[in-house]
Structures are given as structure tokens and as C-alpha cells.
Amino acid sequence: MPWKEQENSDRRVTKLCNEGRVDGAIRKGFMWLIPAKTEKPMELKRGVKPTK
């Protein structure tokens, strides 16, 4: 689901971009430019280990 269709706070989007978790995001001054077709990254939860 594209970012525009989901509710995202500015602070959360900035944090994800700063962590490098948003593919194709580019920093332009104080803004982040995110391509329209970019999917929201999966949430990482503490203590949950990926299955092998």
C-alpha cells in the first residue's frame, strides 16, 4: 500500500528516512522526497526474531 493511502506522522516518516529504511528517499534541504510508489517498510519489533 503506498504511503499516501496510510496515516503516517511527519516525525515517524523522518525517523524511518534517517534510519535508511525507506527505499528511494532523498533528503532535499529539510524535507525528504519519497517516490509515490514506495511501500511502507515493515515494522521491526523488539524481541521478535525472524524465522529461518
Q: What is the per-residue pLDDT across 1-52, written as a single tens digit (0 to 9) for each?
A: 556 556 778 888 888 899 898 889 999 998 999 888 888 887 776 666 666 6
Amino acid letter at 49?
K
- Cα 16 to Cα 3: distance, rounded to the nearest angstrom: 12
pLDDT value, residue 6: 62
Residue with grid cell 529504511, as numbered in its chain: 21
pTM (two decimals): 0.67
- Cα 26 to Cα 5: distance, rounded to the nearest angstrom: 20
